[in-house]
C-alpha cells in the first residue's frame, strides 16, 4: 500500500472527537481506527506495537546502526474536528490542477475557488485531494499518520539509510485539547519528538498560543413581562452587554500572526440564566494572563451595576506556549530545518495560531516541535491536500531519522 492509498483508506474512518462524552477516546470510531492501524503496524513489521485502553497506539522501528543515537519520536492524531462531519468522507483526486474553480458538490453549488482561497494558486499543476463538499477531508491529521507510516516502511525497505531507534504514537482527541492528557512520556522513551500536524509544505513550528477556556454565567430574574417594570432582569441582555465589552478588534477574524484574541464559541441562554463560552488565546504569557484578568474585571463591572453574584467567571487553562520548553533544545528545530532544506523543501518557521499535542507534551518533558503534514483549510468542506506535499512530508521524516544518526 502506498502513501496515497493509505491516506484514502484512513479518511474513510469516522473519527470525529466529541467534547461532551467525557470518555477517552471520546468516540468509538477512534478506537476502531486505532485497531486497524494496530494491525497495519504489525503487518509492516514494527516492534512493540501496543494499543492501550485509552486509545493511544505506539510502536517502534528498531535502530539499524551500531553507534549510540538518541531515541526520537513522531506523533500524529487519529481524531478529526467536531466542527464538521467526518462521516462517509468521499475524497476525490483532481489531477494537474489548472487554477480554475473546483466543483465539489454540484447539487448544492459548492466550489473550491482561488478567489476565496488564493493559496490554491500555489498548486497549479499539482494533484490535489479534495472533498465532495459535504464533509471535511481529514488531512488533519490522517495525512500525518499516513506520512509517518510510509516513512517507517521506506526506512525498513532501505537499510542502507542508518537510523537510531524511532518511536511513533497515534493519539486520540487532539482536536478537543485532550490528545496529550494520558500520553505516557516515560513509557514512550524518546529524547524528543515531532508532531506531524502542521499545514502547508515547509511549515515548522515551535511556538503556539497560551490557551484558556472561560465560562461566564449570568443570573436573571424572570417575571411576567406584563408586570416586569423594575423587576425583570434578562440574563440574555446581560450577556449581550458583556459581549459588547470585548474589544471588537481582538477577535479571530481581526487578528493574525502573534496577535491574541477572545473567541466567543457558544451562547446558551434563557431569561433566567445565560452562559457564554470564550477561548482566550495569546502567544505572550504576560498578555495571556492580562486577558484573563481583564475578563474578570468585566465580570466585576456587570456585578457592580446589577448586583453581586449576577455574573460569575470560571477560567481553565488548557495549554501553554511550548517555546519556553523548546528554546533550550533548539538543535531539534535546527535539525528539522536542515532536513527540509536537504529534501528540497523551503522551511517556513511560523507560530501556531492554535495548539498541538506537542505543546502539552513539551511541558510533560518531551520537547516536541510541529512539522507540516501538507493539508490546507482544515476543519471544513474546503479542506484539500496536495499529493506533492504529502510526499515531501514523508521525505522530511526519513531525512530527520537519517540526520539524527549522523
User: Given the C-alpha cell 479542506, which residue does it identify?
Assistant: 383
307: three-class secondary structure by DSSP: coil
The yes-or-no answer on residue 173 being catalytic is no
- Edge-to-edge order in the sheet of strand 348-349: 47-51, 57-61, 166-171, 72-77, 192-198, 370-372, 203-205, 348-349
Q: CB-based contacts of 241: which residues, under 8 Å, 6+ apart?
A: 302
Q: What is the CA radius of gyration of the chain?
A: 23
Residue of 140, 174, 175, 203 with catalytic role:
174
Q: Which helix (H) or strand (E) holds 392?
A: helix 387-405
The yes-or-no answer on residue 259 being catalytic is no
Strand partners, 376: 384
What backbone phi and psi angles, to 5 degrees, belong to 65? -125, 155
Residue of 79, 140, 141, 175 with catalytic role:
79
One DSSP character per residue, 20-43 reads TS--SSSSHHHHHHHHHHHHHHHH
| Residues classed as catalytic | 79, 174
Amino acid at each position: 500500500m502506498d502513501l496515497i492509498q493509505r491516506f484514502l483508506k484512513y479518511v474513510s474512518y469516522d473519527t470525529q472527537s466529541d467534547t461532551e462524552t467525557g470518555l477517552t477516546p471520546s468516540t468509538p470510531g477512534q478506537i476502531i481506527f486505532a485497531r486497524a492501524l494496530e494491525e497495519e503496524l504489525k503487518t509492516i513489521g514494527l516492534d512493540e506495537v501496543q494499543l492501550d485502553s485509552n486509545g493511544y497506539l505506539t510502536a517502534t522501528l528498531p535502530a539499524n546502526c551500531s553507534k549510540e543515537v538518541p531515541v526520537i519520536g513522531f506523533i500524529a492524531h487519529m481524531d478529526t474536528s467536531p466542527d464538521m462531519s467526518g462521516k462517509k468522507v468521499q475524497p476525490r483526486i483532481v489531477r494537474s490542477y489548472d487554477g480554475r474553480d473546483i466543483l465539489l458538490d454540484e447539487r448544492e453549488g459548492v466550489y473550491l475557488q482561488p478567489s476565496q482561497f488564493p493559496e490554491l494558486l500555489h498548486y497549479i499543476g499539482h494533484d490535489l485531494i479534495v472533498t465532495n463538499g459535504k464533509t471535511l477531508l481529514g488531512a488533519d491529521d490522517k495525512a500525518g499518520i499516513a506520512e509517518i507510516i510510509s516513512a517507517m516502511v521506506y526506512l525498513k525497505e532501505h537499510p542502507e539509510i542508518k537510523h537510531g531507534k524511532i518511536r511513533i504514537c497515534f493519539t486520540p482527541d487532539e482536536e478537543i485539547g485532550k490528545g496529550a492528557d494520558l500520553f505516557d512520556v516515560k513509557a514512550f522513551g524518546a529524547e524528543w519528538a515531532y508532531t506531524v500536524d502542521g499545514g502547508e509544505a515547509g511549515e515548522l513550528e515551535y511556538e503556539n498560543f497560551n490557551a484558556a477556556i472561560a465560562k461566564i454565567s449570568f443570573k436573571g430574574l424572570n417575571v411576567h413581562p406584563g408586570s416586569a417594570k423594575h423587576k425583570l432582569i434578562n440574563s440574555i441582555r446581560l450577556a449581550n452587554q458583556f459581549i459588547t465589552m470585548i474589544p471588537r478588534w481582538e477577535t479571530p477574524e481581526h487578528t493574525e500572526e502573534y496577535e491574541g484574541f477572545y473567541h466567543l464559541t457558544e451562547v446558551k441562554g434563557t431569561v433566567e440564566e445565560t452562559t457564554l463560552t470564550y477561548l482566550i488565546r495569546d502567544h505572550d504569557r504576560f498578555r495571556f494572563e492580562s486577558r484573563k484578568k481583564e475578563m474578570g474585571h468585566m465580570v466585576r463591572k456587570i456585578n457592580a451595576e446589577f448586583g453581586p453574584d449576577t455574573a460569575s467567571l470560571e477560567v481553565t487553562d488548557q495549554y501553554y506556549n511550548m517555546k519556553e520548553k523548546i528554546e533550550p533544545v533548539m538543535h531539534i528545530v535546527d535539525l528539522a530545518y536542515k532536513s527540509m532544506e536537504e529534501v528540497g523543501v523551503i522551511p517556513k518557521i511560523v507560530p501556531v495560531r492554535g495548539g498541538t499535542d506537542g505543546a502539552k507534551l513539551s511541558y510533560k518533558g518531551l520537547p516536541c516541535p510541529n512539522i507540516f503534514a501538507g493539508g490546507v483549510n482544515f476543519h471544513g468542506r474546503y479542506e484539500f491536500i496536495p499529493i506533492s506535499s504529502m510526499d515531501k512530508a514523508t521525505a522530511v521524516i526519513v531525512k530527520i531519522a537519517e540526520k539524527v544518526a549522523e
